Amino acid sequence: MEFVRGQRDQLLGGVEVLAEFADSPETADYAAMQKRMEDAAPDLAESAWGHKYFVLTHPHKLDEFHVEHYQDFNLIRLLQVPPPTPGRYSAAGRFVALARELDAPMNHLAKVLVRRNGSPYRHRRVDVGEGPEGETLWRTIRDGKVIGFGGREIGDLAEAGSAAALRKKLRETFDWTAKEASRVGRELWNLWKYSSEGDLVLVCRGSTVLGVSRILGEYRFEPESPVPHQRPVEWLDLDEWTLKSTEPLKRNLDSIRADFRAQVDIERRLLDALPKPPPKVVPGPVQLSGTPGRIQRVLERKGQVILYGPPGTGKTYWAERTAKEIAARRVLGRPFDQLSEDEKARVFGAGDQGHVRMCSFHPAYGYEDFIEGYRPRTEDGKLSFAVEGGIFRRVGAAAADEVEVLLALGVPEPGALTARDDHRHPNRCVESQQVRPFELLRFIEVHGEPPGQSSKSPS
* SS3 of 166-235: HHHHHHHHHCCCHHHHHHHHHHHHHHHHHCCCCCEEEEEECCEEEEEEEECCCCEECCCCCCCEEEEEEE
User: How much is the pLDDT for 455?
Assistant: 40
pLDDT greater at residue 17 or residue 402: 17
Lowest mean pLDDT among 26-40, 195-209, 237-251: 26-40
pLDDT greater at residue 437 or residue 314: 314
Q: What is the DSSP letter of 309?
A: B
Give which of 196, 277, 203, 197 is closest to 238, Cα–Cα. 203
Lowest mean pLDDT among 4-13, 250-259, 277-286: 277-286
**Residue 97 CA from chain centroid, whole number:** 19
What confidence tens digit (pLDDT) does each residue in 276-310 have?
A: 666 655 555 578 888 988 888 888 877 788 888 88
Main-chain dihedrals φ then ψ at residue 119, nearest 5 degrees? -80, 150
CA distances from 180 to 147, 256, 308 (A): 21, 22, 83
User: How much is the pLDDT for 278?
Assistant: 64
Lowest mean pLDDT among 61-75, 200-214, 313-327: 313-327
With a pLDDT cut of 70, the percent of the chain lying above it is 83
Top-ranked range on mean pLDDT: pick from 78-87, 266-275, 433-442: 78-87
Buried b (16+ CB within 10 A) or exposed e, 305-333: bbbbeeeeeebbebbbbbbbbbbbbbbbe
Summary mean pLDDT of the chain: 82
User: How much is the pLDDT for 244?
Assistant: 92
Separation of first and last alpha carbons in the chain: 68
Top-ranked range on mean pLDDT: pick from 222-236, 322-336, 426-440: 222-236
Confidence of residue 405 (pLDDT cuts 50, 70, 90): very low
What confidence tens digit (pLDDT) does each residue in 152-169 have?
A: 999 999 888 899 999 999
Amino acid at residue number 342:
D
User: How much is the pLDDT for 299?
Assistant: 82
User: How much is the pLDDT for 193?
Assistant: 92
User: How much is the pLDDT for 203?
Assistant: 96
pLDDT greater at residue 220 or residue 348: 220
User: How much is the pLDDT for 420?
Assistant: 34
User: How much is the pLDDT for 197?
Assistant: 95
Instruction: Tell me the C-alpha distance between 75 and 287, whole Å.
Output: 43
Confidence of residue 28 (pLDDT cuts 50, 70, 90): low
User: How much is the pLDDT for 69?
Assistant: 94
Confidence of residue 208 (pLDDT cuts 50, 70, 90): very high
Residue 236 scores a pLDDT above 50: yes
Please spell the DSSP secondary structure of 102-164, one letter per residue. Answer: HT--HHHHHHHHHHHH-S---EEEEE--SHHHHHHHHHHHHHHTEEEE--GGG--GGGS-SHH
If you average pLDDT over residues 192-212, what whole number do you get?
Answer: 95
Instruction: Give me the residues paired with residue 236 across strands.
Output: none
User: How much is the pLDDT for 276?
Assistant: 64
> CB-side exposure of 16: number of CA atoms within 13 Å?
9
Residue 446 scores a pLDDT above 80: no
With a pLDDT cut of 90, the percent of the chain lying above it is 49
CA angle (349 as vertex; 304, 288 as ends), nearest 5:
45
Residue 82 scores a pLDDT above 90: yes
Where are the chain's structural domains?
Answer: 2-117, 123-273, 290-446
Give which of 324, 323, 330 is closest to 282, Cα–Cα. 330
User: How much is the pLDDT for 443?
Assistant: 41
Top-ranked range on mean pLDDT: pick from 52-66, 267-281, 398-412: 52-66
Domain topology for 123-273: ph1033 like fold (3.10.590)
CA angle (220 as vertex; 213, 194 as ends), nearest 5:
60
